[in-house]
């Protein structure tokens, strides 16, 4: 069970463009029904389009733009997004955000000031910061703690744990 990210932004943009076109057509139709001058005159649009040939540069540019937008929307719909869950077994999963937060708290061993954790499909990267001047063994301690916490989750494919230790310079 792998949940993928939603495609909210492209869907909203496409919906807004279609909504704007629909509102424009509806406003013009209502204005015509009331006998007023429409916002966008049908005669001027039809006259302009009837005077344009299929071989005109404007038609080729408009066709290219529409084809490019269509291709981008198609690719956004077909290409899978980033996984939002990590599989525990065939039927259960844990959110990547929850796993990251649990690993960040596990990385807070003695001597660690702060920890930043990135969870990917095959790798967990942790960057820990310490005020210690001697950091020997701290990376191994954090790695052991992270591997233990990953083991507690019993992921279907446990990721490799990579730890990087940064020593902060003392301000005193």
Q: Is 38 left (phi over 0), alpha (psi -120 to 50) or beta?
A: beta
Q: Could you report the per-residue pLDDT of 112-135, keeping only the tens digit for each?
A: 889 999 998 889 999 999 988 888
Residues 52 and 59: beta-carbon distance below 8 Å: yes
Q: What whole-number distance in Å separates Cα of residue 127 and Cα of residue 163?
A: 6
Q: Is the pLDDT of residue 42 over 90?
A: no
Instruction: Give, in degrees to the nearest 5, the angle at Cα 29 between 26 and 32.
Output: 150
Kind of pairing between the strands at 123-130 and 160-167: parallel
The pLDDT of 156-160, averaged and rounded, is 88
Q: Phi and psi for 39 in degrees, rounded to 5?
A: -60, -40
Q: Which two tokens stand for residue 89?
A: 């077994």
Q: What whole-number distance in Å separates Cα of residue 27 and Cα of residue 37?
A: 11
Give CA torsion, residues 53, 54, 58, 64, to 10 deg: 170
Whether this prediction's pTM lies above 0.75 is answered by: no
- Can you list the domains of the chain with their CATH numbers? 8-78 (no CATH), 85-167 (3.30.70.1350)
């Amino acid at each position: 069970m792998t949940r993928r990210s939603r495609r909210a932004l492209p869907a909203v943009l496409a919906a807004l463009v279609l909504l704007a076109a629909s509102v424009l057509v509806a406003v013009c139709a209502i204005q015509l029904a009331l006998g007023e001058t429409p916002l966008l005159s049908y005669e001027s649009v039809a006259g302009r389009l009837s005077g344009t040939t299929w071989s005109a540069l404007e038609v080729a540019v408009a066709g290219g733009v529409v084809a490019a937008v269509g291709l981008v929307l198609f690719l956004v719909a077909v290409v899978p997004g980033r996984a939002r869950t990590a599989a525990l077994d065939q039927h259960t999963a844990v959110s990547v955000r929850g796993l990251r937060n649990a690993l960040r708290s596990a990385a807070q061993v003695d001597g660690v000031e702060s920890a930043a954790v990135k969870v990917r499909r095959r790798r967990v990267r942790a960057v820990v910061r310490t005020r210690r001047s001697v950091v020997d063994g701290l990376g191994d301690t954090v790695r052991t703690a992270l591997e233990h916490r990953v083991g507690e989750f019993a992921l279907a494919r446990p990721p490799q744990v990579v730890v990087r230790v940064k020593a902060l310079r003392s301000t005193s």
